[in-house]
Amino acid sequence: MKDTAKHQGLRNQLVSVLQEKGIIDMNVLDAIKKIPRHLFLNSSFEDYAYQDKAFPIGAGQTISQPYTVAFQSQLLEIKKDHKVLEIGTGSGYQTAVLYMMGAKVYSVERQNELFKQTSTLLPKLGIRPKHLSFGDGYKGLPGYAPFDSIIVTAGAPFIPKPLMAQLKIGGRLVIPLGDDVQIMTLLIRKNETQFEKHELGEFRFVPLLEDKN
């Protein structure tokens, strides 16, 4: 589990790339500067870990491109101690970014293999989410709701109703919507029944699957 000065240099370069692409939230950039992304990847990808690219991580899933992680994280407008629900723990990299941004992270993963890997890896890196669970992301975590924000890290054909219900008034839900190509969608909860919707460009994600595996 080595993290060297060379890795730090590569992270600094990655942050510059993200800034050039329009990421301005210093909280997001500082988190990306600190987190050893190479430790979240298969060691055969280590040399590429700080390129702005997505990579396979097992169980047919991917670790998102750093720009996508940064873009979604920036949309959440996280403040210290915000309760954030993450749907799709995956490699745990996005979880780590949210944690480093000061969020209390509650995360759900439906692939048991990934859930086990991530549950072991995160504590080794000193990253302690409030709650990691193995389950169906479409259902959210009603027992811990409401949340200040919710982030979905897989493409969804529609916005799951339970997730909308678990969002605080004033809260933000970020979800990539669509089948082949997804539109990054931000919902802001205005009151009990109304949500304001923003569409923020095209992205590519693995699909959000129902039920556990």
Compute the chain's Rg from CA coordinates.
Answer: 16
What is the C-alpha to C-alpha distance for residues 188 and 179, in angstroms, rounded to an integer?
A: 23
What is the C-alpha to C-alpha distance for residues 73 and 91, in angstroms, rounded to an integer?
A: 16
Determine which one of 16, 43, 64, 119 is catalytic.
64
What is the C-alpha to C-alpha distance for residues 25 and 79, in angstroms, rounded to an integer?
A: 11
Distances (CA, A) of 64 to 72, 91, 193, 199: 11, 9, 32, 19
Look up 149 and say whether it is catalytic.
no
What is the C-alpha to C-alpha distance for residues 150 and 129, in angstroms, rounded to an integer?
A: 14
- Cβ-based neighbours of 195, under 8 Å, separated by 6 or more: 164, 173, 187, 188, 189
Chain mean position to CA 117: 16
Active site residues: 64
